[in-house]
Amino acid sequence: MAPPLLSLDGIRLTFGGTPLLDGAELAASAGDKIALVGRNGSGKSTLLKIAAGMVEPQDGEIFRQPTATVRYLPQEPDMDGFASVRAYVEAGLGPADDPYRATYLIESLGLTGEENPTTLSGGEARRAALARVMAPEPDILLLDEPTNHLDLAVIEWLEGELQRTKSALIMISHDRRFLERVSRAVVWLDRGQTRRLEKSFAHFEEWRDRILDEEETEQHKLGRQIVREEHWLRYGVTARRKRNMRRLGELQSMRERFRTRRGPEGAASMSAAEANESGKLVIEAKNIAKSFGDLTVVKEFSTRIQRGDRVGLVGPNGVGKTTLLKMLIGELAPDSGTVRLGANLEIAALDQKRELDPSETLAHYLTDGRGDSLIVNGEQKHVVSYMKDFLFKPEQARTPVRELSGGERARLVLARILSRPANLLVLDEPTNDLDMETLDLLQELVAGYPGTVLLVSHDRDFLDRTVTSVIAPEGGGRWIEYAGGYADMLAQRGGQKLDDRAQRARKDEPAKKDAPAATVKAASSKKLSYKQKFALETLPRQIDDTQRKMAAHEAKMADPAFYTRDPAGFAKIAAELDALRERLSAMEEEWLELEMLREEIEG
C-alpha cells in the first residue's frame, strides 16, 4: 500500500456537550478517491477543514507529506477582492503550475473568465471555485459539496475529470450517482467516529445497515447479560456466601457501557399536509412561448398534467427551467399561448434561493410568529414536537437561523413548506444540502404524494426514483416531455446527454431543424477555443517527447542479445513501442487539423 499523503488519527473536537469528533480517523494516499459521508451536523465539513489545516482539533495527530500540495473547495467560496473570475482562478496557481490548465478549466466549466465575481449566480460561483482548486492539479483535493448548484451537464463533465485526476480525492456530496461513479472508498463519520469501506459508494448503504444491525444485536445481548448478572448477585448461592467483587465490577462496567452508548441518530419523520383533492386536470398548457429580447426561452410548448402526475424539469442552468415552471403554475404570463389551471388547486412552493431572515428563530419561522403551535393536517401540534420530526433538538427552538448549517436550513424550509395544506407541490432544487437519510425520506414522500408534483432537479438518482415524466430542453426554446425518469429520457434520446455547450450552440441556430452543415461549421470556426489554442501550442512538445521515447526503445531493441537475455522485457518494449507509434500518429493528425483550422481562420 502506498504511503499516505495525509493522515488524521484520533481526532477529537467538542463544541460543548457531546463530542463532534471522538477519535475520528482519515487517511489518503496517491490515487485514492474517498467519499466522506454522514448525517448533516455529524462533522464532515469540520473534519475536511481539519484535513485542510483550517481548523485545529483539541486532540489527535495530523500528518501531511511536507511536499504535498493541498486544495480545499468550501461550500461558500470567498471571491472578495478579485476583479474577474480569471484573476480569482489564477490566484490559486503555484509558481510551477501551468496557466493553460486554468484557461482550459474556465472554458470547460462554461465561463469566459471575464465575469465579475460579485455578479455570479450560485452555479457560476461554484464553477469558478472548482476551476481554482483543480487548476494546480494538487496532490490532495478536498471537495465539500462540489455538485451543489451545478447542472447535469457540468456534473457529468466533473465526474469524468475527477475519474481521470491523479490527485488524492476526498469529497462530501449528497449526489448518490456522482459518488457511485467517482469514489473507490467510503469513510463513514457516525457519532464522532469513522469507519472505512474499501469499495465504492454503491456498496455503502448495504454495509452501513449491516453494521447498525450488528450493533443492535450486541446491545441486546449486553442488556440480557446485565439481567443475568443482576439475578446472580441477588439470588446466587455464591453471592449469599460471599461477595464476588470481580463480577460486581464487571456488572458495573457493563451497565456503564449500556447507559453511555451513543445510538444511531434518529430518522426524520416527514409528511406533507394535504389539502382537499384537486380536479383531475391540474395544468393544461397550449403552445405557450416566452422570450426575453432576442432570446427565446420557451417556444410553442404544450402539456397536460393530471392529478397524481410527478413531473421533473431538467436542463442546463440558465436554459429557462424556472421560467417554464412559473408559467405552468400561473406566476408568469406567457407571451403567447394559454395556460389553464384546474379546480381547487392549493400550491406549496419551495424556492431554490431559500432566503431566510438570519435573525429569525426556528420556532418563529415555522409558526409565522403565531405562538408555539401550528396546524398540520387539521391537528394542532406544538412547534417543538414538529421540529423533532425534522431532526431539530428542542433547545434549537429559540436558535437564530444564522447559526444553522446548510443542511439544517434546507430541512427547516422543507418543514415549513410541508406544513402548509397543498395538493400541488412545486419544488425547485429540493435536494440541495440534504443528507442522504433526509433525501431518502423526501424521495419517499414525493413518490407517494397523493397530489401533483412539479420539481426542478439536477439529481439523477432522485429523478429516476420519483418522477413519472421529464421535460427537457432541445435548443432554440424547444422543450419535449419524455415518459419516465432521467435514465428513461436518455434512452429515448438515444443516449444523448444534456450538454450545456450544445444547448448554447442550439440557441444561436436558426429555427429550422436542418441548418446547412456549412453554416454551422462557419459559425463554429470564427476563432480557436482556448482548448484548441492550448493543444496547438503543446502538441509539438508532446510529439518531440514521444519521438525521443520511440528512439530510445528502438535502440534497446536493436541490441541482438536483448531478446535472448530478457524475452519478457523485449516483448514489453515492443508493445510500448507500438502504443507510442499509435499515439504519435494521433497527435500528428490532431496538430495538422488544428493548424489547417488556424490558417483558415487567419486567412
Which of 507, 522, 554 is the C-terminal boundary of a domain? 507
pLDDT for residue 543: 84
Judge if 294 and 401 occupy the same domain: yes
**Cα separation values, 70 from 66, 143, 182, 184, Å:** 11, 11, 19, 20
Q: Which three cell numbers stand for residue 328?
A: 405552468
Distances (CA, A) of 390 to 265, 383, 551, 597: 12, 11, 67, 59
- Report yes or no on 273 lying in a domain: no
Claim to verify: residue 110 and residue 30 sit in the same structural domain? yes
Q: Which amino acid is at 389?
A: D
Is 410 found in the same domain as 337? yes
Q: Which of the listed ranges 53-67, 344-358, 370-384, 425-439 does the model predict with the highest average pLDDT?
A: 53-67
- Dig out the grid coordinates for 559 from the structure: 541490441
Please indicate, yes or no, whether residues 200 and 220 belong to a single structural domain of this protein.
no
Tell me the three state secondary structure of residue 164: helix
Does residue 511 register a pLDDT over 50? no
Q: Please return the burial class of 235, using the count of CB atoms within 10 Å of its CB with bins 0-12, 13-18 and 19+.
A: exposed
Q: Which three cell numbers stand for residue 568?
A: 519478457
Confidence band for 159, pLDDT divided at 50, 70 and 90: very high
- Residue-level pLDDT at 508: 42
- The answer on 310 and 185 residing in a single domain is no
- Domain of residue 403, CATH code: 3.40.50.300
Instruction: pLDDT band for 134, please (50, 70, 90 cuts).
Output: very high
Q: What is the CATH number of the domain that holds 577?
A: 1.10.287.380
What span, in angstroms and rounded, lies between the C-alpha atoms of 241 and 484?
75
Name 457's Cβ contacts closer than 8 Å, sequence gap at least 6: 312, 314, 427, 429, 430, 431, 463
β partners of residue 306? 281
Question: Is residue 130 packed enough to be buried (19+ CB in 10 Å), middle (13-18) or exposed (0-12)?
Answer: buried
Domain presence at residue 439: yes
The answer as to whether 577 is a domain residue is yes
- Picking from 149, 91, 87, the residue whose alpha carbon sits closest to that of residue 113 is 87
Instruction: Return binding residues.
Output: 38-45, 315-322
Instruction: Please report how many Cα atoms fall inside a 13 Å half-sphere around the Cα of residue 303, on the Cβ side.
Output: 29
List the Cα angle 284/288/293 in 5-degree steps.
155
Distance CA 203, CA 312 (A): 27
Under the banding of pLDDT at 50, 70 and 90, the label for residue 92 is very high
Measured distance CA(252)–CA(326) in Å, rounded = 64
Q: What is the pLDDT of residue 102?
A: 93
- Specify whether 256 is located in the same domain as 290: no
Beta strands in 439-529 (DSSP E): 452-456, 469-475, 478-483
Please provide the size of the chain in residues: 603
Indicate the residue among 507, 542, 573 that finishes a domain: 507
Answer yes or no: do 35 and 81 share one domain.
yes
Binding residues for ATP: 38-45, 315-322
Total domains, the chain: 4
Q: Annotate 220-236 with three-state secondary structure.
A: HHHHHHHHHHHHHHHHC
Co-location of 117 and 179 in the same domain: yes
Same domain, 324 and 198: no
Whole domain around residue 165: which residue ranges? 4-206
Same domain, 421 and 292: yes
Please provide the DSSP assignment of 177-243 as one string: HHHHHH-SEEEEEETTEEEEESS-GGGHHHHHHHHHHHHHHHHHHHHHHHHHHHHHHHH-HHHHHS-
C-alpha cell at 449: 404524494
The C-alpha atoms of residue 154 and residue 125 are separated, in whole angstroms, by: 13
Weakest mean pLDDT among 132-141, 165-174, 515-524: 515-524
Q: Which of these three, 507, 541, 565, is where a domain ends?
A: 507
pLDDT at res. 300:
92
Among 272, 268, 267, 269, smallest CA distance to 419 is for 272
What's the whole-number mean pLDDT along residues 251-260?
63
Count of other CB atoms within 10 angstroms of residue 243: 10
For residue 268, being part of any structural domain is answered with no
